[in-house]
């Protein structure tokens, strides 16, 4: 087997990886993208919409879909896997953060006016991702509007901006975004299935923009490649070893690249960097690795309609939002049939900021009110009847991650969560429960919590951030303000793990803008490279 040589190898094909692939190719670099998931067809996504086995990513069990559900001692997280990364399962919500986000960044004393510096990159990201207001408004949106009114937050209620080609449902249109350089598109079928992939070619996932255009410029995308180590190579550059995520009989030659971009999302990037550090491949990676991980201060609550015949799926997965207070952001969610298995983890709505007392109250509710407490579990047609609220907060709280052998992994090395210094990321958010109660009244439904948070005291998140945060020195973070890993020239981190604070809203647009900024700082090929981190 022969080695392949590239200027840049990018590990991961989500927002950070896809932006990096296109911009580096435009600058003349030879680029390879390594993705552990599959390249999905419309037929694959249609199956992912209908069947959980085709939706979920659990390769050791033969499930190689696009949604990974990851459980840790203090956290349950969901993320996307496949060519296109998180964009395959995101709801195409693309929002700029509130002013407090920049205030939190400023407190880190990095010498950068982040609002000024990111502004042009937000505009570029919006153009590339095809942002437009959602024109649809359905029954679920009206329920959320009434909830905002009852919480005295009607002035903050509105439609979200999204990366979806709404057009005419089912009607093909020549590339509407890139002057004919992009793929043809179909108008949105309002099916509520954005978070299981879009089989109708309407959602602006990364394989329709950044990654598509990158491949037109010669970027090579290699699916089914799980990177195992990144090792400094003799004579410069790095050697990358990889394996098939589920088929041990397949062997891949090591790949060699002059520079490497880590863009596997927080869990992927942390696991790989920890593995490299522990194995002695990259022993000098900062000990701050995994120290400060953000959950976007997030949770999920649900309401299941008592009307068994209702169908709330008409529309995009997320279409409206509001702010019950300055630091809390709430959106609704629709689901396709493949998400029906989530009804099994729905329990009663219970308040208490003391985890043990809340768990006991939840168990007591099952005993005292078994029918109401098991309503979600027993609901037929759950995906048609449920309204799930994603509640995110722009607050300072955190978890940590470490790496090593654990008994529940048969003493194999793995990522595991740790309680961090400072305020822990929440498992209970009072504003979420209050919103669910008001929503249940307007929707004639039964509100509930996810049992992982009410009984297990787990934080819930679909938007993990941090862990490789930007800092001024390796004592405080893993990368410098140019996203370069301290003490390792040519290694970059360009994904959500680089963002050091909670965003408080859906962070996809911010990750894209941050990646655009990073790539703008890398000179074209054959131009002098800037001094590496730690050597300025």
Q: What is the pLDDT of residues 207-250, one digit of tens each?
A: 999 999 999 999 999 999 999 999 999 989 999 999 999 998 89
Q: Note whether 245 and 282 are same-domain residues.
A: yes
Distance CA 461, CA 269 (A): 17
Q: Does residue 529 lie in a domain region?
A: no
Domain that holds residue 506: 4-38+92-135+163-292+468-520
pLDDT band at 406; cut points 50, 70, 90: confident
Q: Note whether 386 and 287 are same-domain residues.
A: no
Active site residues: 463
Q: Note whether 433 and 379 are same-domain residues.
A: yes
The last residue of a domain, from among 461, 495, 530: 461
Q: Does residue 71 lie in a domain region?
A: no
Helix 15-26 / helix 508-520 crossing angle, nearest 10 deg: 30
Q: Note whether 407 and 273 are same-domain residues.
A: no
Number of domain units in the chain: 2
pLDDT at 300: 98
Q: Does residue 145 lie in a domain region?
A: no
Over residues 367-374, the mean pLDDT reads 98
Residue 394 has phi, psi (to 5 degrees) of: -95, 70
Over residues 385-393, the mean pLDDT reads 98
Residue 495 near residue 263, CB atoms below 8 Å: yes
Q: Note whether 298 and 240 are same-domain residues.
A: no
**Quick one: how many helices (H) and strands (E) in the chain?**
15, 27
pLDDT at 439: 99
Burial class of residue 107 in the structure, from the number of CB atoms within 10 Å of its CB (0-12 exposed, 13-18 middle, 19+ buried) = exposed
CATH number at residue 207: 3.50.50.60
Determine what percent of the chain falls in helix, strand and coil, rounding each to the nearest 5.
30, 25, 40
* 529 pLDDT higher than 90: no
pLDDT digits (tens, 9 = 90+) for 9-26: 999 999 999 999 999 999
Q: Does residue 267 lie in a domain region?
A: yes
Q: Note whether 492 and 380 are same-domain residues.
A: no
pLDDT at 125: 98
Q: Note whether 330 and 185 are same-domain residues.
A: no
Find the angle CA(135)-CA(136)-CA(142) to the nearest 5 degrees.
125
Q: Note whether 284 and 315 are same-domain residues.
A: no
Q: Does residue 152 lie in a domain region?
A: no
Q: Note whether 281 and 377 are same-domain residues.
A: no
Q: Note whether 286 and 300 are same-domain residues.
A: no
pTM of the entire predicted model: 0.96
pLDDT band at 420; cut points 50, 70, 90: confident
Q: Note whether 170 and 116 are same-domain residues.
A: yes
pLDDT band at 530; cut points 50, 70, 90: low
Q: Note whether 230 and 310 are same-domain residues.
A: no
pLDDT band at 2; cut points 50, 70, 90: very low
CA torsion sign for 327, 330, 331, 333 is positive
Q: Does residue 352 lie in a domain region?
A: yes
Distance CA 374, CA 259 (A): 53
Q: Does residue 108 lie in a domain region?
A: yes
């Amino acid at each position: 087997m022969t080695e392949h040589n590239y200027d840049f190898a990018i590990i991961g094909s989500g927002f950070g990886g896809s932006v990096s692939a296109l911009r580096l190719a435009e600058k003349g670099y030879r680029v390879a993208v390594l993705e552990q998931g599959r390249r999905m067809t419309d037929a694959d996504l249609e199956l992912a919409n209908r069947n959980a086995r085709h939706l979920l990513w659990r390769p050791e069990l033969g499930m190689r879909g696009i949604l990974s559900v990851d459980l840790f001692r203090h956290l349950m997280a969901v993320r996307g896997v496949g060519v296109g990364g998180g964009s395959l399962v995101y709801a195409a919500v693309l929002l700029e953060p509130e002013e407090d986000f920049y205030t939190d960044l400023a407190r880190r004393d990095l010498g950068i006016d982040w609002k000024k510096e990111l502004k042009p990159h937000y505009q570029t990201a919006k153009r590339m991702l095809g942002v437009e207001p959602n024109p649809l408004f359905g029954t679920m949106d009206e329920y959320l509007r009434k909830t905002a009114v009852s919480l005295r937050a009607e002035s903050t209620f509105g439609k979200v901006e999204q990366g979806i080609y709404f057009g005419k449902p089912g009607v093909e249109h020549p590339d509407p975004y890139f002057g004919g350089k992009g793929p043809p598109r179909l108008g949105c079928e309002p099916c509520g299935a954005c978070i299981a992939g879009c089989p109708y070619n309407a959602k602006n996932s990364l394989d329709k923009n950044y990654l598509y255009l990158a491949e037109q410029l010669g970027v090579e995308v290699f699916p089914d490649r799980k990177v195992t180590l990144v090792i400094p190579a003799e004579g410069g550059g790095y050697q990358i070893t990889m394996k098939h995520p589920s088929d041990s009989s397949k062997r891949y030659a090591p790949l060699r690249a002059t520079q490497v971009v880590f863009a596997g999302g927080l869990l992927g990037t942390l696991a790989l960097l920890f593995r490299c550090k522990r194995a002695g491949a990259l022993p000098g990676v900062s000990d701050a690795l995994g120290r400060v991980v953000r959950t976007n201060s997030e949770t999920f609550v649900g309401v299941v309609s008592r009307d068994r015949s209702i169908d709330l799926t008409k529309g995009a997965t997320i279409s409206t939002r509001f702010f019950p207070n300055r630091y809390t952001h709430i959106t609704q969610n629709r689901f396709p049939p493949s998400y029906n298995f989530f009804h099994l983890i729905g329990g009663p709505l219970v308040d208490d900021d003391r985890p043990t007392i809340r768990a006991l109250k939840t168990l007591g509710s099952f005993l005292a009110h078994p029918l109401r407490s098991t309503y979600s579990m027993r609901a037929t047609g759950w995906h048609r009847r449920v309204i799930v609220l994603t509640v995110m907060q722009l607050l300072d709280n955190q978890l940590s991650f470490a790496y090593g052998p654990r008994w529940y992994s048969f003493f194999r090395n793995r990522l595991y969560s740790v309680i961090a210094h400072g305020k822990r990321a929440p498992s209970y958010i009072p504003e979420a429960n209050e919103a669910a109660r008001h929503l249940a009244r307007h929707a004639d439904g039964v509100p509930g919590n996810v049992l992982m948070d009410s009984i297990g005291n787990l934080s819930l998140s679909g938007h993990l951030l941090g862990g490789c945060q930007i800092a001024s020195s390796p004592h405080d973070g893993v990368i410098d303000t140019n996203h370069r890993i301290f003490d390792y020239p040519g290694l970059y981190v360009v994904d959500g793990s680089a963002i050091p604070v909670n965003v408080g809203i859906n962070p996809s647009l911010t990750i894209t803008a941050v990646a655009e900024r990073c790539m703008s700082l890398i000179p074209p090929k054959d131009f002098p490279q800037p001094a590496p981190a730690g050597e300025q």
